[in-house]
Structure 1
Amino acid sequence: MLRDTFIDKIKNYLLERDLHPYIPLKKDFQVEFLAQGEYNINFIVDDSIHRYVFRVNTGSQLELANQIKYEFDALKSLEHSGVTPKAFYIDDTKEYFDYGILMMEYLEGRPLAYHKDLKKAAEIFSRIHSIDTKEISHGFIIEEKICTDRVEEGRRWLKDYLKSPMVDIKLKNFFEKFLDWAEQNKDREKYFIENKWHVINNTEVNSHNFIIGKKQSYLIDWEKPVISDPCQDLAQFLAPTTTLWKADYRIDSDEKEMFFQSYAEGFHGKDNHIRERVHLYTPYLYLRALSWCAHAWLEYQNPHKEIRNMDTFQKIKQYLDIDFMKNLLKDYMFLSQ
C-alpha cells in the first residue's frame, strides 16, 4: 500500500533536514501510521517527548494547485481560536516527496460521541465562527452563492457518473431530477446574500474530525475550509449523511435544539436565525454529500486508485441506495417520488 512506502522515507527526510527552527525533535524518533482519508495520509512522529502529525497530501477536493499550502495557511489563521491544531512546518516543493507535506500538533483525545458531546461541538463551532474574517490575511475561498455553488459542484461530480454504463438507470434518473430541482430552487440563496453572515467553515465536520480531550476539545482536518455562511458547517454536522458516516447515529429533534441553543450561547444568545439558515441549506448539503458519493463510487471502480478505504466504500454504497436517498429528501416534493 502507498502508506507503507512512506515510513522509511519520512525517517530519512527528517534526519536529513534541520527542523529545529520549526520544531524540537530528537534524532531518536519513531514514525508510525496514524490514519488516512481520501486525499491524505497521516503519520505520528514521536521522540518520546514530542509528538507530531506528519501529513502527506495526495490530492485536492478543491482542485487547488497547492493544496498543502492552503491548509497550512488556514491552520495559521485559525490558531488563536484555541480549538484547532497548531501547524509548524510545510514543504510544498515536492522535491523529496511527490506530494506536499506539513507537520502539525498531535492532539490527545477521542472522536466525538453524538449522544454526549453535542454541547462541546457547539462550543467549538461558535469559537471558530466568532473569528473576524476581515482580520484574516489568508486567501480563503469565499462562497457567496452557496446554493449555486452546490449545483455547479454537483454537476461536476456527477458528470462522468451520469455517463457511465456501470450506473443503474434509476440512479441516473434520481440525480438528474435532483439537479433539476436544485437548479430551479436555488433562488433561496438570496436569503444568505441579503442577510450576510460570513465565518470560516471547515466543510468536513464528521465525528472523527473532532478530538474530544480531557481539558480541551478540537476540530481537525482543515484541508478544504471556505468563508461562507455558518449553515454550511452546521447543516453538515447535523445531517444523517454525516452522523451515520462514522457513528451510525441520528440526532433527534431535542438534541438538535439543545445544540442550537449551545451554539447561540457563544454569540451571547444571538442565534442570527441559524435554524432557518440550516433548514434552507440542507437539501443543497445533501446534493453535495450524495453527488460526492456518486463520484467516489466511480473512482473506486478504478483498480489503480491510490487510496482505498473499504469502510468508506461500503458507506458510499449504502448512501447511494435509492430508498435511502429518497428518505433523506422526503420533505422536498418530487424527490421522494
Structure 2
Amino acid sequence: MYFGKEIESKNLATEDKIVLFLREKQWVDPKSVAFLAAGEYNENYRVTGTDADYVFRINHGSQLGIKNQIEYEFRVLQHLSATGVTPVAYYCDPDPGQFAGGVLLMTFFSGRPFQYIDDSKKAAETFAKIHQVLPSPRLLNQYDPINQIISESEGLLARFSDHPKCEEKKRLFLYRDELLDEFGDNENLFVGDQACVTNTEVNSGNFIVEGRAAFLVDWEKAVNSYRYQDLGHFLVPTTTLWKSDFCFDSDRRIEFLRAYHTATQSTMEFDLLDRRTRILERVILLRALSWCFMAFYEYTRGSRDLQNQGTFKRICWYLDDIDHFLRSA
C-alpha cells in the first residue's frame, strides 16, 4: 500500500506531494500549498493550515559540508526559540523519501521584504537579541573565524582544477595572502569577547519585516562564533548588492553599528566593535567571492540541483568586477 503511494507520488507536482506528506505525518492539516522561494540549497513552500500558515522547507545540499543539514538547522532554531526574532521549528524529517533531502516545517512570516535604508536599525536590534544567545554544544564552532573562513575560501577556490577563470583565481589567492599577512596571527583578537550563535549569511532576502521587527528566517549556515561574523557579513557590498542596489557608505555603516551597540547595551568601546567588524568584513569578502568562483563552475557545468538565473547574473558580475570589490575592502 505504501509502495503504491510512493510510485504514484512521483507523478505529482511538488505541492501535491507536500500535501500528502503532511497528512500522512499528521504534522498539520494543509488546506493549500504554494511555492514561496528557493535559494541555492533549499526550496520553500507556504502551507496554509486550519489555524495558521507554515513554511515547508526542502533541503538540497549543505554549505557546511554536513550530511544531516536539515536536522542541524532544526537544532539551531530550537536553540534560538526564545529570541522572538527567528522562526519556530515545529517538525523535521531528515529522510522523507519522496523529496530531494530532509524537510522542515517552521513559522511563516507574512511581512514585507527588507529595505536597507528603512530597516537597518531593525536588523541591528535583531542581531542584538540573537547575539545574547550563548553557544550550543550541538552546533559547529568557528572560534578562529579569520583563519577558518580563509581555509573555507581556499577549499572553494581549489575545488575544481579545470576552472576556466584562472586570473580571478590568482587574484583571490593574492588577496588571501594579504589577509594572512595582516591577520593570520590573531589569537588574541577576541580575548574578553563573549562567543554566541551567529547566522553568518545575512543578506536582505533572509529578513522578513513585520511591524517594528525584522525576523531572520534562514539558519542553514549558523555556527558558534563571534558577533563580528554577522555584522561584517551584513555590511560588505557582496551581501548588500546580492538582492538590492544598496551599498553602505561610511556614515550609514557607523549609524548601523551604533544602533547595534546601543541595542546590546554593551560596555565594549565602540571603536573596538568598529575595528573588529571591519576586519571580518575584509575576510568575509574573500569567502563571498570564492563562493561565486566555485558556483560559476557549477552553474556553467549544470551540476547544481537548484539554479537561479538572477543569482548567476550576480555571480558573473562579481567575478567580472572582482578588483572593484576587493578595492572596497
**Secondary structure of the corresponding residue to residue 197 of structure 1:** coil
Normalising to structure 2: TM-score of the pair?
Answer: 0.90
Once the two structures are TM-superposed, the CA of residue 271 in structure 1 deviates from its matched residue by: 4.0
What is the CA–CA distance in structure 2 between the aligned matches of 1:295 and 1:204, rounded to whole Å?
17
Could you say which residue in structure 2 is the equivalent of 1:335?
A: none
In the alignment, structure 1 residue 262 sits paired with structure 2 residue 264: no
Could you say which residue in structure 2 is the equivalent of 1:95?
A: 97
Could you say which residue in structure 1 is the equivalent of 2:273?
A: 274
Once the two structures are TM-superposed, the CA of residue 59 in structure 1 deviates from its matched residue by: 0.3
Could you say which residue in structure 2 is the equivalent of 1:26?
A: 29
Could you say which residue in structure 1 is the equivalent of 2:223?
A: 226
Q: Please say if residues 198 and 230 of structure 1, whose CA atoms lie closer than 8 Å, have aligned partners that are also in contact.
A: yes
Choose which of 148, 161, 164 in structure 1 pairs with 2:162.
164
What is the CA–CA distance in structure 1 between the aligned matches of 2:95 and 2:179, rounded to whole Å?
40
Opposite residue 267 of structure 1, the aligned amino acid is T
Once the two structures are TM-superposed, the CA of residue 106 in structure 1 deviates from its matched residue by: 0.4
Q: Please say if residues 188 and 280 of structure 1, whose CA atoms lie closer than 8 Å, have aligned partners that are also in contact.
A: no
Once the two structures are TM-superposed, the CA of residue 331 in structure 1 deviates from its matched residue by: 6.8
More divergent stretch after superposition (75-84 vs 47-56): 47-56
Choose which of 2, 8, 11 in structure 1 pairs with 2:16.
8
Normalising to structure 1: TM-score of the pair?
Answer: 0.88
Q: Any stretches of 5+ residues in structure 1 without a counterpart?
A: 20-24, 333-337
Q: Please say if residues 147 and 188 of structure 1, whose CA atoms lie closer than 8 Å, have aligned partners that are also in contact.
A: no
What is the CA–CA distance in structure 2 between the aligned matches of 1:298 and 1:151, rounded to whole Å?
20
Could you say which residue in structure 2 is the equivalent of 1:22?
A: none
Q: Please say if residues 146 and 189 of structure 1, whose CA atoms lie closer than 8 Å, have aligned partners that are also in contact.
A: no
In the alignment, structure 1 residue 204 sits paired with structure 2 residue 233: no
Once the two structures are TM-superposed, the CA of residue 178 in structure 1 deviates from its matched residue by: 1.9
**Secondary structure of the corresponding residue to residue 301 of structure 1:** helix
**Secondary structure of the corresponding residue to residue 34 of structure 2:** strand
Q: What CA deviation, in whole Å up to 9, does each residue of 1:249-305 have, x standing for no partner?
A: 011222111111111112225345210111122221111100000011111012242
Q: What CA deviation, in whole Å up to 9, does each residue of 1:136-173 have, x standing for no partner?
A: 4x511111211111221111101134x32522x32232
The 1:217–1:160 alpha-carbon spacing in structure 2 relative to 1, beyond 3 Å, is closer
| Aligned residue-pair number | 317
**Secondary structure of the corresponding residue to residue 95 of structure 1:** coil
Q: Aligned-residue CA RMSD in angstroms?
A: 2.0
Q: Please say if residues 119 and 214 of structure 2, whose CA atoms lie closer than 8 Å, have aligned partners that are also in contact.
A: no
Opposite residue 256 of structure 2, the aligned amino acid is F
Identity %: 36
Could you say which residue in structure 1 is the equivalent of 2:116?
A: 114
